[in-house]
Structure 1
Amino acid sequence: MPLYEGIGIVAEKHTVILDIGHAFTKCGFAREAGPRWIIPSQVKNSHTGKLRKLWDFKDRKELYFILKDFLHMLYFKYLVVNPKDRRVVIVESILCQTDFREVLAKVLFCHFEVPSVLFVPSHLMSLFTLGISSAVVLDSGYSETVVLPIYEGVVILNAWQALPVAAQAIHRRIEAEVMEKAKVKTLASEPKPLGELLAEKGQTEPLKETVLEDIKVRTCFVAPFDLGQKIQAYESGKRLSGLKLSEEVPEPPPSPPDVEYPLNGEKIMTIPGEIRNYAPEIMFERSGDEQSLASLILDAILKSPIDVRKTLAENLVVMGGNTMLPGFKHRLLAEVQNLLKDPYYSSRLPIKKIKIHQPPAKENYIAWLGGAIFGATDVVTTRSITREQYLKREYIPDWSDQMWTSHSGRGRS
């Protein structure tokens, strides 16, 4: 008898909770305080042996095979349970592609024959960890940052804000800076610039994404507000001077110490200190549309009904792996407080304080933990889509779709 079947007989069969992100996937069971595993959202191709990211697909057919291999790995390598005996709760973003969620449901129902599936929005699930019903939720993950206000459990969908600035943008800046400024030394040679060393070896890919992620986590931090303003002014002055639009070059701000990062057994890369706080600064720089993380929060509150704005401002929830950088929350509060002094916001938002909640979990799995709490309630049995319902209609309603009433059997057929 396989191991996973034996475990299913002895233990209580809790619901499987999945949170499939662009960079990492959290998986585990309901009623648990944290995910069993946090793994990269990628799978090895059985034919070529190369790793494929889940979100890099050409069509639904290709996505079907990618998800089938990925879920097979989740169930039989990491969770070690029989999928036919477990309900599934999928924690998803409100901006999740329709093709992705429909193909995911097809794989679960048709290939793994799970008994039921329930899709829940990640922003709402983050509130379950705190026991609150109203908040502005900022989710900064790998590819984008999304801000969504929620009042009394109802999503104010027309007020959502998004900006394509998150971990991926930080990685690209780290990559550009280390290629230009970092030096690598070996036991047999003097230190050389990283770009020159890679050019000698003919490498087309500078640094792997996992290396850039590790450099960010181990060495980078978010600068305080005053230092951040000096960094932005200095970089802006350098650009203007380089374009000959200004003759004055600003004084460089103080930088933290350089750090040594081991590339492999023989190579040691020296990362200049200025990169450590300059790379994360991209999250707080104004975009071409004069948007930043602080403006996303205030614009979301401003677009909400006037009688709920004070409540929303006093309940800010920050989640996503990108927000785990040291100093992020402190800088975010300072940026919002500074932006509130702008005449555009001060005349429309007479708010004095912005308060951030401290959830009982790390920021990268707050939504998963909310799904684990939600998955332990009776709602899973009443609101889930069963396999029989799916095979009958092959329809996956959106979480806000009014057709859900009739589809779930509580309304007319």
Structure 2
Amino acid sequence: MALYEGIALIQEKQAVVLDLGTDYTKFGFTGEAAPRCIVRSEFWCQAERRYKRLYDYRTPQELYDNLVHMLHLLYFRHVLVNPKERRVVVVESLLTPTLFRETLAKVLFIHYEVSGALWVDSGRASALTLAAPVVLVVSIGARDAEVTAVVHGCPVLRALQSQPLGARAVNAELARLLDEDNGRELHLSDDVLDDIKVRACFVPGREAALRWAERGVPADVRETRRGADVLVSRRARALAAEPLFARDHDLASLPDIVLQCIMQCPIDARRSLAGSVLVTGGGAALPGLRARLAQELRHLADQPPYKERLRELEFKFHSAPAHENSVAWVGGALCGAACAGGGAGAGAGAGAGGEGRGVSRETYARTRRLRDWACLLHNTPPSHPHWDMQ
């Protein structure tokens, strides 16, 4: 190895990993076991004199300004690095709006002038942390619950399922139950609801939940939250997460979308997917949620319309290798570390095993176009005839 090549390797700096969640943002460096910071997805807006959420925008220009301020907060206050000197690994959902992806790329390459960026979808990033060939990733975020089947490093796009069954659905039900307990509308803020949910709420077993929903919970077991002056009953603590498991005619509960995802996958992968379930996301941290989900899955698998197509499946759950809310970030950090020296910086377009899609600043300056996850044009080589028809 020539001397200048060794100096170049020594000077290679760790890439940063960015996971812009709806409520919380994870930010840190590749190769590390946890994010350097987990902060709310909000910033101080000088023009409006208030804290503004990242996803609170009405126009593309407003989104651009929000991303500029949010990334400035992350780079220069929380990790203290120069954006121009480090590549970026962006962890995102497969269902991220195109406007958000393109605006984020514009902010990274034009405003902050990063050398390269690698986009990694959260489903494959979570599966990468397990090093398992087949993983069913159940991600419970702030707004939505997404179920992604990852088979040999590739997400089955036709089986992707999503429903608005995230942490905000639990907060809404908790607020309703607390209003009933206190006999008035409390109008609690999200911070107070999150505090009550984290400190007191749990997910009971299926039989206990059905019994409590029908007969009610003894009213003599109550707790008082003095800081917020709120009376919290055992009923509110136990039944706050029931919207995740409530079934309707559309079969849109959390266990239903898990079974529907398995049913849409190839038949030879269904048994492996059922035996390799990984529950991630901030909403997955509720005590008892995985055990309740396993009970509901075993119960519904013997009921129509799943009984004929999903027979004798044994559901097994992985223990997350990191905290539930940062599993996807850890997968992005692993992918970025595996791509060091290539990938995002060289615009190779693929990470280790094809988990990500990299774009260099020079490539973006020529095309100003990002590869879409589900577009056939972006999943074929440049020499394919599809490119001549665009």
- Work out whether the TM-score is over 0.5: yes
Q: Which residue of 2 aligns with 1:385?
A: 359
Once residues 270 and 362 of structure 1 are traced to their aligned partners in structure 2, the CA distance between those partners, rounded to angstroms, is 30
Contact 2:148–2:159 (Cα < 8 Å) also in 1: yes
**Which amino acid is 2:188 matched to?**
L
Matches within 5 A, 1:351-370: 351-370=312-331
Counterpart for residue 7 of structure 1:
none
Candidates 267, 273, 279, aligned match of 1:306: 267
Map Cα deviations across residues 82-141 of structure 1 (whole Å, 9 max, x no partner).
000000000000110110111011011111111011111000000111111311111111
Output the aligned Cα RMSD.
2.2
1:366-390: CA deviation from partner (whole Å, max 9, x where unpaired): 0000000001013444322111111
Shift of 1:81: 0.3
The number of equivalent residue pairs is 363
Task: Within 5 Å, give how 1:138-177 maps onto structure 2.
Answer: 138-177=138-177
User: Which residue of structure 2 lines up, in the alignment, with residue 403 of structure 1?
Assistant: 378
Quote the residue 1:245 is aligned against. none
SS at match of 1:100: helix
Q: Find the counterpart in structure 2 of residue 112 from structure 1.
A: 112
* Conserved 8 A contact 1:28-1:34: yes
Deviates more, 1:380-389 or 1:112-121: 380-389
From 260, 278, 291, give the equivalent of 1:317: 278
Structure 2 counterparts to residues 10-409 of structure 1, below 5 A: 13-182=13-182, 195=185, 206-232=187-213, 234=214, 251-254=215-218, 257-263=221-227, 268-378=229-339, 379-381=343-345, 382-383=348-349, 384-401=358-375, 402-403=377-378
Q: State the TM-score, normalized to the length of structure 2.
A: 0.88
Q: Deviations over 1:147-175 (max 9, x none)?
A: 11111111111111111111111111122
Cα separation, partners in 2 of 1:110 and 1:179, compared to 1, 3 Å: same
What one-letter code is carried by the residue in structure 1 that aligns with 2:268?
A: D
Q: 8 Å contact 1:256–1:273 — kept in the other structure?
A: no
Cα distance change, pair 256–369 in 1 and its aligned pair in 2 (3 A): farther
Distance 2:221 2:137 in 1: 34
Confirm or deny: 8 A CA contact 2:145 2:164 kept in the other structure.
yes
The structural deviation recorded for 1:255 is: 6.9
- Quickly say closer, same or farther: Cα 1:405–1:29, change in 2 above 3 A: farther
1:176 deviation in Å?
2.1
Question: Contact 2:145/2:162 (CA < 8 Å) preserved in 1?
Answer: yes
Q: Displacement of 1:180 after TM fit?
A: 3.2
TM-superposition CA deviations, 1:337-377 (whole Å, max 9, x none): 11112143222111331111112111111000000000101
Instruction: Sort the Cα spacing of 1:300 and 1:96 in 2 relative to 1 into closer, same or farther, 3 A.
Output: same
SS at match of 1:275: helix
Deviation at 1:278, TM superposition (A): 1.2
Aligned to 1:247: none
Q: Which runs of 5+ in 1 are unaligned?
A: 1-9, 183-192, 199-205, 235-250
Which SS does the other structure have where 1:370 is aligned? helix
Q: In 2, Cα distance between the equivalents of 1:22 and 1:256? A: 38
Kept in 1, the 8 Å contact 2:271–2:313? The answer is: no
Q: Distance in 1 between matches of 2:382 and 2:366?
A: 10
Q: Gapped runs of 5+ residues in structure 2?
A: 1-9, 350-357
**Kept in 2: contact 1:92–1:121 (CA 8 A):** yes
Structure 1: distance between partners of 2:321 and 2:129: 7
- Once the 2 structures are TM-superposed, how far is the Cα of residue 256 of structure 1 from its aligned partner? 8.9
Alpha-carbon deviation of 1:287? 3.3
